Amino acid sequence: MYNYILSISAVFIGSLIVYIFKPNNQKKLKLLLAFSGAFLLAITIFNLLPEVFEEHQYAKKTGVWIMIGILLQKVLEYFSKGAEHGHIHIDKETTKIPKLLFISLGIHAILEGFPIHHTEGILLGIIVHKIPVAMILTTFLFQTEIKRPIIILFLILFALMTPLGTFISEHFESVQEYYKEITALVIGIFLHVSTTILFESNEGHKFNITKLMVILAATATAYFI
């Protein structure tokens, strides 16, 4: 049960930080996003990849599913405009939640919930990833003309998507039969999102020692969990 609570709380923590403190330091937010991207990437490589490649006779098939996950995330980002890794482009004069944004974020969140109960450390990786994304998402939504109750409802539904994926993976036998394939799919999604965060969040592609230290700290933390 605590896995459900923690995955839900990540969105609300990010939203509350924005609501209470109203952070406007984009540099610090990008560093937080870089930490989350590096942490998610390291957790994926250290924990998820070894799990799906245990059965070597299916290694190529597993690789195919990982590539499908990468391509699927690319398609989702076409509709979400990159909200999964902190790039959101919403018309500030809009009065309605973009449906395609909600659907693409929902699919992404449901899929990332599948391996939570099966792989050690992945829950923490998702939490660390979701907090800055929720902060950026909340910040942009508050800048639109969308009514606050609608924004709150959107954030609640978004928070419930990941535990929904975890619930499905635990209680539906038909899904459990394809756990390895779905996990490989999720790995592809995580690889795309995390590497995009790391390589796109660096303005002008300049070397930044602070960002490098943040990435190294995130990687070391993920390794020792």
Specify the pLDDT at position 37. Answer: 92
Which tens digits make up the pLDDT trace of 177-216?
Answer: 898 899 999 999 999 999 988 886 555 555 578 888 999 9
Number of domains in the chain: 1
Instruction: Tell the burial category of 44 from Cβ atoms under 10 Å away from its Cβ (0-12, 13-18, 19+).
Output: buried
Between 124 and 57, whose confidence is greater?
124
Specify the pLDDT at position 17. Answer: 92
pLDDT at 8 over 60: yes
Specify the pLDDT at position 81. Answer: 74
Nearest to 47 by CA among 190, 163, 167: 190
Average pLDDT over residues 36-42: 94
Q: How far is CA 124 from CA 35, 75, 80, in A?
A: 13, 26, 24
In degrees rounded to 5, what are phi and psi of residue 121? 90, -20
Specify the pLDDT at position 104. Answer: 92
Average pLDDT over residues 94-99: 85
Residue 160 and residue 168: Cα distance in Å, rounded? 12
Share of the chain above pLDDT 70, in %: 93
The rounded radius of gyration (Å) of the Cα atoms in the chain is 17
Average pLDDT over residues 74-98: 79
Lowest mean pLDDT among 74-78, 89-93, 123-127, 134-138: 89-93
**Sequence-distant (≥ 6) Cβ neighbours of residue 70 within 8 angstroms:** 188, 189, 191, 192
Structure tokens at 215: 């990435």
Nearest to 181 by CA among 17, 57, 52, 74: 52
CA 31-88-33 angle, to 5 degrees, is 15
Specify the pLDDT at position 207. Answer: 57
DSSP state string for 8-44? HHHHHHHHHHHHHH----HHHHHHHHHHHHHHHHHHI
Range of the domain at 185: 2-224
Residue 77 and residue 155: Cα distance in Å, rounded? 19
What residue type is assigned to position 154 of the chain? F
pLDDT at 168 over 90: yes
Which tens digits make up the pLDDT trace of 61-70?
Answer: 999 999 999 9
* Range ranked top by mean pLDDT from 79-88, 170-179, 199-208: 170-179
